[in-house]
Copies of this chain bind each other. A is one copy, B any other.
């Protein structure tokens, strides 16, 4: 195992300490409890927006804490759900009395623990709404999931919904917009290589030198099929076609196109992937209104990529463009 770490069991807490040291202007971090909070939380008269999940997907979610995106994030151990007490602490830290939105990726442990935390918060008088993302078209049920997995749409949803929450919109409207983004978005990913969970010390799965996994999950869960390596043009077809079909995209529609790296894939390759994606969309007369290219929802050092498309309308464009100031995404400020 080749990693820039100290003890495997200290990875998450040491990375959190590093985040706090690097971004003291943006964040407060409870390293022990593993909660990252926007520095000026709770923001008065604003819905608190939080998310969380296993570590190993950085910058998601901690790198998205700040003005115009998340008010807090609670990272669990690597590829492991955060615990209810941790989620409760994050919920209380961002509660200004206007309610709190939980953004939950559809993995059994995450859903269960966020539900328990919401009940605990309700018992303390905090109104919580929850939205579950399930945008991965690759497989119906998976190792950790009933239904579809939550992946790339989560990043875009956190940005759009966080921008809307800044306007002081009420909880039910913020939750409704979150559901809308999830409904209008689909994703699919692939892996060229596996990844190694630090405490495991060996790769999560084995892939031959000439193989890739199409439809991979962000924890290395199996996808649709294992196939021989292929040129980028064919790989992007394999990912984009199911996404476009499942979303029912039609000529004349506009999308937010997100090409995401899995952690071990360099930017030069992601731009090649984006070039293929824009060619496919142009062929279907779907226009790209906004785009994002980079490694934002990763699987440790896995090499590979995912493609996410969200159908845009004026409302989504408006809050995507709204100012954001977090460690990983920043514009307009």
Task: Tell me the bound Cα distance from A275 to B19 in angstroms.
Answer: 8
Contact partner, A274, options B22, B209, B273, B300, Cβ 8 Å: B22
Contact indicator per residue, chain A 36-69, by CB within 8 Å of chain B (1) or not (0): 0000000000000000000110110001000000
A301 touches B265 (CB 8 A): yes
CA distance in complex: A22, B268 (Å): 13
- Establish whether residues B5 and A232, one from each chain, have CB atoms under 8 Å apart when the complex forms: yes
How far in angstroms is the closest Cβ of chain B from A37?
17
Determine whether the beta carbon of B275 is less than 8 Å from that of A17. yes
A14 interfacial by beta-carbon distance below 8 Å: yes
How big is chain A's contact interface, by range? 35 or more
Asked if A125 CB lies within 8 Å of chain B CBs, one says no
A18 touches B264 (CB 8 A): no
Q: Compute how far the CA of A330 lies from the CA of B328 in the bound complex, rounded to whole angstroms.
A: 11
By a CB distance below 8 angstroms, the chain B residues around A331 are 330, 333
Contact B301 A18 (CB under 8 A): no
Oligomer copy total: 2
* CB neighbours of A278 from chain B (8 A): 18, 21-22
A272 at the interface (CB under 8 A from B): yes
| A4 B267 Cβ-Cβ under 8 A | no
Q: Is A212 an interface residue (CB 8 A)?
A: yes
A256-272 interface (Cβ within 8 A of B): 263-272
Separation of A263 and B266 alpha carbons in the complex (Å): 5
Residues of A in contact with B (beta carbons under 8 Å apart): 2-7, 11-12, 14-19, 21-22, 55-56, 58-59, 63, 192-193, 209, 212, 229, 231-233, 235, 263-275, 278, 288, 291, 293, 295, 298, 300-301, 303-305, 327, 330-333
| 22 A-B pairs in the complex with CB atoms less than 8 angstroms apart | A2-B193, A2-B212, A2-B229, A4-B232, A4-B235, A4-B265, A4-B305, A14-B275, A15-B268, A18-B271, A18-B274, A22-B291, A55-B268, A58-B267, A58-B268, A59-B267, A263-B266, A264-B266, A266-B298, A293-B327, A301-B303, A331-B333
